[in-house]
Amino acid sequence: MDEPVEMDTWKGVPVQNSAEWNAVFSHNPSKIRVGASCPLCGRIELFRWHDGGRGLWQWCNGCGTYEHSTAMPPVGWLPEVSVKPRQVTALPSSIVEALREVRFL
């Protein structure tokens, strides 16, 4: 996989692509790695992270598009790896860093 995007290059989901973005993230709701193509760049680099509470991050490591929202983890949320990001913000950078440290990315 390619290097994740740099912290200053993250960008929100364009409004005109939000329906398609949400639809693709309905795949494999209990997994970190979505396993579907990004509707913006076409690369299979989509990931999600629930913080165990109500925080949800969804992003593409290919083009740097992301979304942060409040949502309960789906029933059966059992991530493939367990990580504790150092400094969680709305941007997924610290989550990506934590996943790289355990060699998930």
pLDDT (tens digit, 0 to 9) for every residue of the chain, 105 residues total?
A: 455 555 568 999 999 999 999 999 987 788 899 999 999 999 999 999 988 778 899 999 999 999 999 988 888 787 777 777 777 888 898 889 888 888 888
Whether 79 is covered by a domain: the verdict is yes
Residue 76 lies in a domain: yes
Q: Given this model, what pLDDT does residue 5 score?
A: 53
Residue 96 lies in a domain: yes
Domain count, the chain: 1
Strands 55-60 and 46-50 turn out to be antiparallel
Exposed e or buried b for every residue in 53-90, given b needs 16+ CB within 10 A? eebbbbbbbbbbbbbbeeeebeeeeebeeebebeebee
What was the pLDDT predicted at 59? 96
Name the residue range of residue 27's domain. 7-101
Residue 25 lies in a domain: yes
Is residue 33 assigned to a domain?
yes
